[in-house]
Every structure is written in structure tokens, then in C-alpha cells.
Amino acid sequence: MRLDKFFSEMKILSRSECRDEIKKKTITVNGEPAKSSDMKIDETNDVVALKGQVVKYSPYVYILLNKPEGYVSATEDKSEKTVLDLLPENLTKFGLFPCGRLDKDTLGLVILTNDGVSAHNALSPKRHVEKKYLFTAADEYGDDDKTAIESGITLADGYTTKPCKIERIDAHSGYITLTEGKYHEIKRLFGARKNKIVYLERISFGKIGLGNLERGEWRFMTDEEKTAFTGKNGTN
Ligand code: URA
């Protein structure tokens, strides 16, 4: 396949952007700077890299981001910075969207993809994909609060939350693992117990963890992570 097609099919670079990157010598094939956008590559065996990051051939793009505070989980917003603002320009304009929402003040793992089916499946409560968060509450929470939240609470809007799991760290903090993602769910669960979440960070999504991704950093998913997320082997 042509090198420019390799990038354009995956919606990473348009053909003209591919030519520009080649001029800047930011694309390598098997460690050598690519010479022309029409050069033929073996998309499954050649190692193609863009700005030092190996790009695997895949019809879809899967990205992990460690969200800082102050960004909204949306593709665009009139007044706020969005998680897409943390990606390089060449990745932002090709239909990526966050898989689920973290609040503006919530930190941690966000998955960005253009694979709507896998994103939908990962978020479906029927699939029971576990999302784990580190939290701190303003006031101490007791074992009665823990048990009530874990069993499910009927919130002010009448919705009863699905059972979840809390692992205590200390009187104020712990890990909470949910298999659904209702609006402000963790904040509302603690709110229903007259407490307030003051720190919230998603540390894993299913089998995919934050690892050593620094705050504000992103990277492409590994093959194992893609398999874990899509449920398909060899989506490439
Ligand atoms: N629950 C919340 O309250 N906020 C989040 O960002 C995620 C889960």
C-alpha cells in the first residue's frame, strides 16, 4: 500500500499532510526517513513511525489520554477547552471522540477513538466493563455509607444505581469501581450520603490502566489494549 494511503485510511494524516511530514523527515519506515508519499509499504510488516511513535495499521484509531483538570469530555465546546485540544492537530480533525465522559474537574484515563461500535459496547451497562476511580471525600465516610453506596442508592431523579465496589484507603479516600456511568454518578452517590467528592481520578477502564502516562499526555493503545477494548483479536 502507498505510504500516504496508510496514513489517510486511518485518518491520521491527509495525503498533503503526509507529504509535509515527509519533507520534515518526521515519518520513518523501518527506521529510515520516508522519501516519498507514494512509496510502497507492507502495512502489516514494515515499522512505520510518525514523530517517533510507531503507528500500527488499523482502520480505527485508539488513544489513551491522562486528562488534566479543566478540560471537558466533548469534541467541541463554545467556551471550554476539550480533551481533543490535548491531541496534536493532525489527530483532532478526523472524527475522534471521547468514550464516555469525565467531569471537567475529574482527572485520569480517557479513551479517544473513532470506533463507535466498540465505544458503545464498552459503555453499555450490559457489558459490565469496570471503571475504577481514586476518590477523596470532604468528610469521613463510614462503613454504613460504604455499604449503602455499594448496594445501590436511589438518587434524587429516581434512578437506582447499580451495585459497585469500594476499597477503602483511609477515612476519606478509596477506590470505587462502577460498571455504569451515569451523569456525576460518584459525586451524586456521595452527595446522597451528605458527603462531597473533592478529588476524583479514573485510573482504569476495563483491563486498560493509566500506567505511567503523565497528566496531559496521550499515546496510541498497544495491540493488547486494543484487543481488550474492542473485544476483537487483530483489529489491525
Ligand atoms: N462520576 C462522577 O461523579 N464524575 C466523573 O467524572 C465520573 C464519575
Rounded CA gap, 100 and 11, in Å? 21
Q: Give the gyration radius of the chain's Cα atoms.
A: 20
The grid cell for 63 is: 488513544
CATH topology of domain 62-124+214-230: Alpha-Beta Plaits (3.30.70)
Mean pLDDT of 2-27: 92
Report DSSP state, residue 154. B
pLDDT greater than 60 at residue 236:
no
- pLDDT cut 70: percent of the chain above it: 96
Mean pLDDT of 5-31: 92
Mean pLDDT of 188-209: 98
Provide the pLDDT for residue 199.
Answer: 98
Classify 3-53 by CATH class.
alpha beta
Closest ligand 1 atom to Cα of 187: 3
87, burial (CB in 10 Å: exposed 0-12, middle 13-18, buried 19+): middle
Helix (H) or strand (E) run with residue 49 in it: strand 48-50
Rounded CA gap, 214 and 194, in Å? 33
The grid cell for 232 is: 476483537
Best residue for ligand 1 mutational test, from 73, 101, 102 (most atoms within 8 Å of Cβ) = 102
Rounded CA gap, 90 and 85, in Å? 11
- Is 130-205 the same fold as 62-124+214-230? yes
pLDDT greater than 50 at residue 234:
no
CATH number for 130-205: choose from 3.30.70.1560, 3.10.105.10, 3.30.1490.390, 3.40.50.1970: 3.30.70.1560
φ and ψ at residue 187, rounded to 5 degrees? -60, -40
pLDDT in tens, 138-174: 999 999 999 999 999 999 999 999 999 999 999 999 9
Provide the pLDDT for residue 89.
Answer: 85
Closest ligand 1 atom to Cα of 105: 6
Where along the chain do its domains lie? 3-53, 62-124+214-230, 130-205
- 103 as an active site residue: the answer is yes
Ligand 1 centroid to Cα of residue 135, in Å, is: 10
131-137/173-178 β-pairing: antiparallel
Provide the pLDDT for residue 90.
Answer: 77
Ligand 1 centroid to Cα of residue 185, in Å, is: 5
Q: Report the chain's mean pLDDT, rounded to a whole number.
A: 93
Q: Give residue 229's pLDDT band: very low, low, confident or very high (50, 70, 90).
A: very high
Closest ligand 1 atom to Cα of 106: 6
Provide the pLDDT for residue 9.
Answer: 79
8-12, 50-54, 146-150, 170-174: segment of lowest average pLDDT? 8-12
Q: Give residue 8's pLDDT band: very low, low, confident or very high (50, 70, 90).
A: confident
Where residue 36 falls (left for φ over 0; alpha for ψ -120 to 50; beta otherwise) is beta
List ligand 1's pocket residues with C-beta within 6 A: 102-103, 106, 184-187, 200
pLDDT greater than 90 at residue 60:
no
